[in-house]
Structure 1
């Protein structure tokens, strides 16, 4: 299976291709658009063995709150076994309303496992580009291939990584957060947000629309189903639960979080169960891909304890205080911790992928006043990390692989219950992908991380890109895919390095 050809998502959507109407639908006057309503593309996500979520948003004027009237619009969808839609196997109609920015989250059910399907939408006479998706396998499966990505600051580079990703032979993509950035930062910008920091629903909608107009991002969404979780920049830099170092009034911040969460839902291929209720939304979930892979998606932002040792300021590299090691401190919240432990007992596949937002391994840095730790990550919550790893050990989870993003650098390493004891057995293997575009820490920083943390096998912050994973009965093979020059819209992507984890072992091995 190769990437979806670019012509399929670049052709005009108003061509009026033949589109069979579902039986029993009664329509009034047909909806018409003065311009393409599919400016934000199409997407699929959350694949199960018998279903998948299909997404689009009608937005003929994407940067002007969509440019749609307040009235609801019927949007038809089709799923077919072939690209020409000669064999349609599922169809339906959704009501796109202004309440959800005229977005569509259609759950296509009754599909066959481990099958490639093609899908499209129609609103009135406007037919969308064609997308391709794939259901999860059920039972025996030879292999699963996926990519994982994070941190795509629009201004700091082009989405060349997604253009390359769309050409790969993949079953799905896992996005680990920072899909948008709420603020402008960094240097050598190649394009601009054009407006300030969003705080209202309309402003967050426009920020997502700006990012989703990118052709290369649309291409990856049209080629593969996504599993998605958020990190901080979908709301506000380094927030923790209802706390923000920039908006100190928690009531006001939760209003902002509610707007941000709704805009995230409106623009991602998520199931109705993920629809926010005010400032709350459930995105942690368990997905199974036959006997090869279980995926546990985690949310380490919404429920975490306030940052330790910062006195209300920004969490950064600082010396630890007593608060940091309080047992009650949590990254996931007690309910999600219990859910995670319960789900581990149901993970029966050969490989268990724990998909979360950041580097889980300890990253201790020597300084003149003693050890320093990054307080916005797991090092600010060491007992929460220990409890998670205790769960993996207690359940004897088969081949646990933790993946993350956030740090704008590639990492590979071994996870231990006690990082002060290098000889302690490894509980899980960890891989962290660099950013799609966001500025990295540089090689001096990652060299220091390697020198001072023996459980890290690899660290590199020079390049932007993503990671690919191939799982089969014997091995987990991880490739770090690096963009040559993120400031060049036509940049090539090259394999930086490859690691293998063998079935029944722990820890990465470079090849």
Structure 2
């Protein structure tokens, strides 16, 4: 099981209510102390289904923001004026995360720092480069949310920090694997939500750190990585995308693939829709798929093919609710980019439903959590 962050949420009860009401609530204040973070992890681990998931398979994990504080960046919390002791909070969150998650001894926290980025190797089939896009990043350039922000293209800004960036690119050059999988937290491909000349993108994602993304993409191209695939979480929806060196040239070659897994439960049931009608796909032709239901991605890696089934669960509240494949995408050996091989048809009742808008998408991603 590859878990890419937001394993638990820091909020107090009733801070956020999903459509239709929360499946469960956790008692206690917002997590800021070691005791609080330990309690929250214990509350999550009380879920019998989560226990079964941990028992069923080994896990490879990284944290994102909510294991500490929403949208934190390095030593900067979401609301700095309210958190003069944020580094103490960060250290407590790291300690509780290490105590409760399957991590190597090399990840034992040391004060306010924790070695999270690392590699896992599956023989010569695949390398898993697991990133940390929180602990070393520059602060979001123009604050949170979607912005047309000059700082987003500042070449001095980084989402990984210089040391981790070098480690990753060095790993590309030394890789002999058939597949190089980058497991990380936030959306990698460009997602411009403005059809006009402005470029309005998420400041918390790689879009807020364009030069950082460019250097890493160029790094795997220069290293001759055979099959680069980015696996992503964060945005509470399924997406699939081709990766480009130049997103402003839709006719340019694809140089990689990105698969984004939706949330397990955050956001309520969501709704099925026609992915081709999503406005982001029209503005960004490298984006190939969208679905706003809950679920996971079942990925199979073979020598010559990577396949990804985008699984959805229609009802969070119904025990034994069916799990079905909404879409299947494949990545062929030495053919960068995603190819759709299956799409489950929409029920007639949904075909006439209102189309999702840019505003809907931004709201679903940016409202708490």
Q: Say if 1:249 and 1:277 are closer, same or farther in 2 by CA, change over 3 A.
A: farther
In structure 2, the CA distance between the partners of 1:444 and 1:372, relative to structure 1 (3 Å rule), is: farther
Contact 1:351-1:400 within 8 A present in 2 as well: yes
TM-score of the superposed pair, with normalisation by structure 1:
0.63
How many residues were matched structurally? 333
Structure 1 unaligned segments of length 5 or more: list them: 1-172
Give the TM-score normalised by the residue count of structure 2. 0.87
Shift, 1:367, TM fit: 6.9
Match of 2:146 among 305, 317, 323: 317
**Correspondence 1:112-511 to 2 at 5 A:** 173-183=1-11, 184-187=15-18, 188-248=21-81, 252-310=85-143, 315-320=144-149, 322-366=150-194, 370-439=198-267, 447-461=278-292, 463-511=293-341
1:404–1:431 CA contact under 8 A, matched in 2: yes
CA contact (8 A) 1:447 1:460 kept: no
SS at match of 1:340: helix
Given that residues 118 and 131 in structure 2 are in contact (C-alpha distance below 8 angstroms), is that contact kept between their aligned partners in structure 1? yes
Q: Distance in 2 between matches of 1:412 and 1:251?
A: 39
Local SS of the residue matching 1:465: strand
Segments of structure 2 that go 5 or more residues without pairing to the other structure are 342-369
Tell me the equivalent position of 2:350.
Answer: none
1:286-323 Cα distance to aligned partner (Å, 9 max, x none): 1111121111000001100000112xxxx001222x22
Q: Deviations over 1:454-499 (max 9, x none)?
A: 00111111x1011011111221111111112112233221111111
CA contact 1:242–1:250 (8 Å) conserved in 2? no
Task: Find the structure with the greater CA-based Rg.
Answer: 1
The secondary structure found in structure 2 opposite 1:365 is coil
Distance 1:193 1:367, change over 3 A: farther
Backbone CA RMSD of aligned residues = 1.8
Change (3 A) 1:455 1:272: same
Q: Residues of 1 paired with 2:59 and 2:8: CA distance?
A: 16
**TM-aligned CA deviation for residue 245 of structure 1:** 2.5
C-alpha contact (below 8 Å) 2:118/2:130 kept by paired residues: yes
1:255 alignment partner, SS class: helix
Normalized per residue, which structure has more helix?
2
Q: Partner of 2:91: helix, strand, or coil?
A: helix
Whole-angstrom CA distance in 2 between matches of 1:351 and 1:339: 18
Superposed CA offset, 1:250-301 (max 9, x none): 7511111000010000001111110111111011111111121111000001
